[in-house]
Structure 1
Amino acid sequence: MSDLLSFQSLTEEEKLQHFISRIDAGEKIEADDWMPDEYRYALIKLISMHGISEIMGALPEKEWVPKAPSLRRKLGIMAKVQDEMGHGQLLLRVAEDLMKPIGKSRDQIMQDLFSGDLKFHNVFHMEAPTWGDAGLIGWLVDGAAIISQTNMLDASYGPYARALKRICAEEVFHAQHGEAIIIALAEGWKEQRAMIQDAINRWWDALLMFFGPADASTTGTSKQDITIKYGIRTKTNEELRQDFFTKYVPRILSLGLTLPDPSLHYDEEQNTWIYQQPDWNYFKQIVKNNGPKSKDRLRLREIAHQNNAWVREALSK
């Protein structure tokens, strides 16, 4: 009790310094701990976007459940969709705990999604017209997600770090599932190999955009400095993108596939991958819900939310 009273007597600046010292010491911040507003709002935005993206990310793969080429593939992608929805629910519970002290509920997250105030990940605005797209999402999109999320496994916010441990473990299986589809197609007919190549050509810019701009000057929307400042993650957007290149470019090329960027190469002197920047103006349009499938997927999510309102009402009684 005396420690609590002593803490409450501190000025806001002293509380902030104490908070930063806890993070620097490797302590985990919990939901009922004092935290600065900047930290709370950064977490709410990050975790809400992550949770909603898991749910929205299940939609392009859901389209392939009835169309998968075999029963085994159908069961595999069905299990993956169930996992992604579970990840979304887990993360929204984490976000909900952060929102309660400021008088907001989980339903506010959904309303923010429908109004456009809450964004979902750029890759899930894209089309998935072939089975090659379904494999690529599992292999490269989930692979990119693993790179991004493992960077936050030691996040200063304890509930998020613990949720990520479970999520990352399952995402590894998802990436292996996607890789198995891609390898099977790569070893198949000429038309199947062409299907993969077409998917890579269409998805390449979206994969580059996955990690966000290198700095805020590109789009004016980067929040990476705040998350690094508070120990939520350790690497910048560009460092994560470079990790993606290192892991996946050799694997893609080893399958005899090509990448739609003739300038892409590893510069030994600079110790970095050189590549052509995607169109960041298009990125801004996508995250404003002007992507190829943005409206369709938002409408599908809104219809499901409305149709299941009676379930939420029954559970609240």
Structure 2
Amino acid sequence: MEKDMEQLFQEKIDKEIRIEPKDWMPEKYRQTLIRQISQHAHSEIVGMLPEGNWITRAPNLRRKAILLAKVQDEAGHGLYLYSAAETLGISRDEMYEQLHSGKAKYSSIFNYPTLSWADMGAIGWLVDGAAIMNQVPLCRSSFGPYARAMVRVCKEESFHQRQGFEILLTLSRGTEAQRRMAQDSINRWWWPSIMMFGPKDDESPNTIQSMKWKIKRFTNDELRQKFVDICAEQIKILNLTIPDPDLKWNEEKGHYDFGAINWDEFWQVIAGNGPCNKQRLDARKKAWEEGAWVREAATAHAAKRAQRLAEKRA
């Protein structure tokens, strides 16, 4: 019976029929989605921290307003994705507990510090650019709530990327000190952004099954190559350089070749040994604890409102 259900499930996937929360699904499919969607949501929430660090230090009011709007967008994305994950039967409190305990992961890129204003540009161009590369195919994910959530998320992320590139473009046309600051930022964020696509295909344990279930549409290495190809052209507009001496166009392959990735650094950050891992988790736990009174007040208000409505109907 179970095998018959799995076969029918796979046939739906193969026919590009969306899976909805009330449909039958293999437990492993459900758990894979919970892991991926909650990790994505955690990344949006933790991702507010490196940029929120610069809201009070933005160079002018226009920059401050744009950055504030961007950080608010990230909060919205996280809440949107938590809602999508909840349709799979996991509670939001459980997801928060997994994040705070270190059981659940988030994108390793957010464990690096933001040292200058130019980092707001590099994060927008490179980090959000890599996120878009990952997320646009997710608009066609086999799980309906996730795919629909990604349509809105990708539209807003594309604004974030353009905003980041515009910061770098302005700096690249500024003083020599501003150009140096922009180049330094790209030097620090390039390789972590390349790592955002995850481990090599032959070391990614979930890719094959996720591709079969059409949760993912492209492999990590395919997306990474596409990202490098695009950035290698866009950097020419900035008249800056990508910090990779091995980056060069390969006519035969029709793609850019690029240097070796420091996978030791990647796995160290994943393991919790990055520059800001502890700081990021401590900040999230502090926010959770200090926000307890808000949650309690909202719950009490909802209970009183429900009671008043019940009394009116009686």
Per the TM superposition, whether the score is higher than 0.5 is yes
Partner of 1:188 in structure 2?
174
Q: How far 1:314 sits from its partner (Å)?
A: 3.3
Q: What's 2:79 paired with? A: 89
> What is aligned with 2:242?
259
Report the secondary structure of 1:152's partner residue. helix
CA distance in 1, matches of 2:207, 2:69: 32
Aligned to 2:123: 137
TM-aligned CA deviation for residue 187 of structure 1: 0.5
The RMSD of aligned alpha carbons is 1.2
Alignment of 1:117-266 (within 5 A): 117-217=103-203, 221-266=204-249
Which deviations, in whole Å up to 9, do the C-alpha atoms of 1:242-283 show, x marking residues without a partner? Answer: 111121111113322112111111212123332112211211
CA contact (8 A) 1:147 1:244 kept: yes
Q: 1:216 offset after TM fit, Å?
A: 4.0
How far, CA to CA, are the matches of 2:177 and 2:152 in structure 1? 37
Aligned residue in 2 for 1:74: 64
1:42 and 1:226 in contact (8 A); partners too: no
Residue 65 of structure 1 contacts residue 78 of structure 1 at CA under 8 Å; is this kept in 2? yes
- Cα deviation digits, residues 74-104 of structure 1 (max 9, x gap): 0000000000000000001111221x2xxx4
Counterpart of 2:309? Answer: none
Q: Contact 1:119–1:288 (CA<8 Å) still a contact in 2? A: no
**2:46 pairs with 1:56:** yes
Larger CA deviation: 66-75 vs 202-211 = 202-211
Map of 2:283 onto structure 1:
300
Query: Shift in Å at residue 301 of structure 1?
Result: 0.8
Distance, in Å, in 2 between the alignment partners of 1:121 and 1:62 is 17
> Structure 1 residue 110: deviation in Å?
1.3
Query: Deviations along 1:14-55, whole A, 9 cap, x unmatched?
Result: 000000111111111111111001110110010001001011
Moved over 4 A (4+): none
1:103-114 to 2 correspondences below 5 Å: 104-114=90-100
Instruction: Tell me what 1:35 maps to.
Output: 25
| 2:311 alignment partner in structure 1 | none
- CA distance in structure 1 between the aligned counterparts of 2:205 and 2:99, rounded to whole angstroms: 19
Secondary structure of 2:113's counterpart equals coil
Q: Please, what TM-score do these two structures have when normalized by structure 2?
A: 0.93
Q: Distance in 1 between matches of 2:250 and 2:24?
A: 46
- Identify which range, 159-168 or 303-312, moves more after superposition: 303-312
Deviation of residue 226 (structure 1)? 2.1
For structure 1, list consecutive stretches of 5 or more residues without a partner in the other structure.
1-10
- Separation in structure 2 between the aligned mates of residue 74 and residue 239 of structure 1, nearest angstrom: 36
SS of 2:249 mapped into structure 1: strand
Quick one: percent identity of the two aligned structures?
Answer: 45
Distance 1:200 1:288 in 2: 24
Look up the SS of the partner of 2:140 in the other structure: coil
Unaligned runs of 5+ in 2: 304-314
For these two proteins, the number of residue pairs brought into alignment is 300
Q: Is the 8 A contact 2:199 2:220 kept in 1?
A: yes
Partner of 2:12: 22
TM value normalised by structure 1: 0.92
Indicate conservation of the 8 Å contact 2:134/2:197, yes or no.
yes
Shift of 1:223: 1.9
